Structure 1
C-alpha cells in the first residue's frame, strides 16, 4: 500500500473532481513522505493539549471522553496526546463503540474467530504502554454496523458525557463508515450536552492528499509530542499485533496496518480538528 494513486500535490492542491476511486480506503494511499514534504502540515497552528483544554468546574480535575469506533483508533490518532494527558492527571474515559471483530472477514486463521477478545486485550496492553489509567466502556455495537445503531450510540455517548469537559472522537469525514458514524454520534451527543467535540483523523491520511479540500484545514491544529509521549505511542502501536501483522499465510490474513500505513502515526505530532 505504498503506491500513490495521484501525482504528489503542492501546497493547497486538491484532487481532481471525479478521480477518487470507488473505495478510497482500499485504494493505494498517499505515502507519508508526501505529507512530510508538504509545508502546510508543519505550519498548522500549535495546540498545547493541557493549556488548550476547556476548563473544568472549580474543585475537580478535567475529564475527557475519548471515543473510538474500533480498538486501536484512539491510539493511532490520539495516542501521544493521551500519554501527555494521562501524565498530567487528566481523567480519561474511553469508549470503544465496537470490538473490531470484523477486521479480517475472509480470514480462516484460528485467531480470526476470537478477534473481539484479542483486540480488547491488545487495547489494554496499549493503554498500559501509554501510561494511561482510563475508565474503559465497551458499547458492543457490531463491527461495521455503527451507522445502523447511530441513534443508540448517540444516546450512550450523551450519558457518558454528563460529567465531562471535552469529547474527542473519530473524524466524521474519515470515509470509513464506522468512523464517520461514531464521529457524528459524538458531535450530536456533544451538542445535546453542550460539551465541545474535537475530532481526530485516521484513514484520512491514507486517502487524502496534501491540501485536500475535503479536509477541514481551517479547524486543524497540531499537537507536538514530547519525546517520551512519542516513544510511548510507538511502543503502544506494537501491541495491536492482529492489525499490524498478518494473521496467517492465507488469503484474507493480510495486515490492516502495514508499515506504510503505520508511518502516518509515527510522527512527532498529531493533528486534531477543533
Structure 2
C-alpha cells in the first residue's frame, strides 16, 4: 500500500514507531490482562472481521490459535480479497492476488488450527470507505446476538480498516453482539502513551507456548505480501516492523 493520510494519523512509507520503543512502554504500562476465555466466553461465537487477507492474523492470530485449542466456534469474515496491494504490478495482477491471497488466508488459518475457510465478501479493496452502508447491511445479516466481534479499530488510520470498524460497531450494536477493536496500523503512526489511543480500555492477552509459534508461522503464509516486487521495484507490503509486531508474545485489544 502507498502513503495513507487520515487526519493526523499518517501511514507513510517508513517502518513507523519501532518495537524498541513500544515493548518497554507496553511492559511498563501494565495493561490489565485478559484471557481468551474471558474475551470469548463458553457458548459465544468469535467473529473476526478482516478488511484484507492477513489482518485476521496480524490482529488476533494468537487469540485464534487459543480459541481453536479450546474448540470455540469461530467465523472469519474476509471483507476484501486484497486485490489492490500491488498497483501497477505485472507479477501480482488483481486477478493473481485474488487467487493467491485467498489461498494464503486459508493456509494461515489452518496453521492456527482453524479448518473452516473465511467467509469472503469480495468487496473492492481500497474503497470500503465509500461502501459503509453496504458493509453495515452485510454485517447485520451475518452477526448473531451474543457474538464477540473482533475487528480493526475505528481510528486505525487506514480507510478500509476504519470503515470496517465503524460498520462492525453499527451491526454489533443493532444485533446485540459485543465489539472488540484491535489496532493494526496504529502501532505504525502512534507513539507510546499517545493520547489519541484509548489506553484506558486496552487489555493485554498473553500468548501461550502453542499460540505464539502458530501465529508466527501463519504470518509467514502471506508470501505475496512478504516478497519485493521486481516488476515495480516495490518493497514487501508487510514491512519488517509489521512482521516484528506479529512476533510479540501478547496481543492488545480495545474493549
TM over 0.5: yes
Contact in 2 for aligned 1:224/1:270 (Cα 8 Å) = yes
Q: Report whether the alignment pairs 1:269 with 2:250.
A: yes
Q: Per-residue deviation at 1:41?
A: 6.0
Q: Per-residue deviation at 1:90?
A: 0.6
Q: How many residues align?
A: 249
Q: Per-residue deviation at 1:62?
A: 2.3
Q: Per-residue deviation at 1:258?
A: 2.6
Q: Per-residue deviation at 1:149?
A: 1.2
Counterpart selection for 1:257 from 234, 238, 242: 238
Q: Per-residue deviation at 1:52?
A: 3.8
Whichever of the two has the greater Rg, that structure is 1
Contact in 2 for aligned 1:80/1:230 (Cα 8 Å) = yes
- Runs of 5+ unmatched residues, structure 2: 1-6
- Identify which range, 102-111 or 92-101, moves more after superposition: 102-111
TM-score norm. by structure 1 comes to: 0.85
Q: Report whether the alignment pairs 1:134 with 2:121.
A: no
Contact in 1 for aligned 2:149/2:177 (Cα 8 Å) = yes
- Runs of 5+ unmatched residues, structure 1: 1-17, 56-60
Q: Report whether the alignment pairs 1:31 with 2:12.
A: no
- Identify which range, 157-166 or 104-113, moves more after superposition: 104-113
Q: C-alpha distance in 2, partners of 1:52/1:180?
A: 22
Instruction: Pick the structure with more strand per residue.
Output: 2
Q: Per-residue deviation at 1:261?
A: 2.1
Query: Deviation digits for residues 34-61 of structure 1, max 9, x if unmatched?
Result: 1012155651000011134356xxxxx3
1:201 alignment partner in structure 2: 183
Query: Deviation digits for residues 171-205 of structure 1, max 9, x if unmatched?
Result: 11110000000000000001111211001111111
Residues 143 and 252 of structure 1, relative CA distance in 2, 3 Å threshold: farther
Q: C-alpha distance in 1, partners of 2:194/2:35?
A: 25
Residues 41 and 242 of structure 1, relative CA distance in 2, 3 Å threshold: farther
CA RMSD in angstroms comes to: 1.9
